Amino acid sequence: MEEKEKPRLSRLTAILTQLQSKRIITANQLAERHNVSVRTIYRDIRTLEKSGIPIVTEEGKGYSIMEGYHLPPVLFSEDEANALITIEQLAIKNKDKSFVENVSSAIEKIKAILRYSQKGNADLLADRIYFSGNNNEEKTSNNLMQIQSAITQYQVLKIDYISSENKQTSRNIEPFAIYSIHGNFLLIAFCRLRNDFRNFRIDFIKTLTVQNETFTPHNMTIKTYFEKYIKNQNHP
């Protein structure tokens, strides 16, 4: 009995964490993640509900936790804590100021719930991790967080952009996705000036203004974009 309960207890704890980390998650996703049947997940969800967790079932969509409900933070394993410190050191090398500041702030809050022994190890590890590239920690942009918000809120952006050929244009764009290459962030967006999708280096955006206008989400995935557009090497 004891050997059977341990895996289930571990699974229930993991499901709780996943419910808190996603807006919505399906039974199929949980079943695949934990290598169990969907029927088992249904039983687990009922168990969590009986224990007082306010799980909301959205028919045809999946499960979520009632908005405003928060559980006490879980403890991190040693490996998980070390991974977070590694992420922080990697982020510090990034060229976007808003990204670096927000990652550092978020991880500082996470560090606050580490066990006392882990805090000392985290400080030690931070001094022993080194990533090459951008060694002077130069910050060439400060727009990434604002762009990410515009992507999730479907907000139109007005940008003044200087291309690699040093040509400046002003245009309204509908932000779609972000990707990184050679240490630089690029924004994929529908450009109303060109009436097509274009990619923009974020550090080439000199001014960015959020417009009081939203747009209809584009019926396209990031995979489709790369398959359809990247071969054309489209230029702003």
Residues 101-111 pLDDT 10s: 888 888 877 77
59-101 pLDDT tens trace: 888 998 887 776 665 667 778 778 888 888 888 888 888 988 8
Q: Which of the four pLDDT bands, split at 50, 70 and 90, describes residue 6?
A: very low
Q: Which of the four pLDDT bands, split at 50, 70 and 90, describes residue 123?
A: confident
CATH number of 2-65: 1.10.10.10
Q: Where are the domains of the chain?
A: 2-65, 78-127, 144-232
98 class by beta-carbon count within 10 Å (0-12 exposed, 13-18 middle, 19+ buried): middle
60-70 pLDDT tens trace: 889 988 877 76
Q: CATH number of 144-232: 2.60.40, 1.10.3470, 1.20.1630, 2.30.30?
A: 2.30.30
b/e for 29-54, b at 16 or more Cβ within 10 A? ebbeebebeeebbeebbeebeeeebe
Which of 232, 168, 164, 220 shows the shortest CA–CA distance to 189? 220
pTM score of the predicted model? 0.63
Residue 56 parent element (H or E): strand 55-58
Average pLDDT of the residues of the chain: 83
Percent of the chain with pLDDT over 70: 85
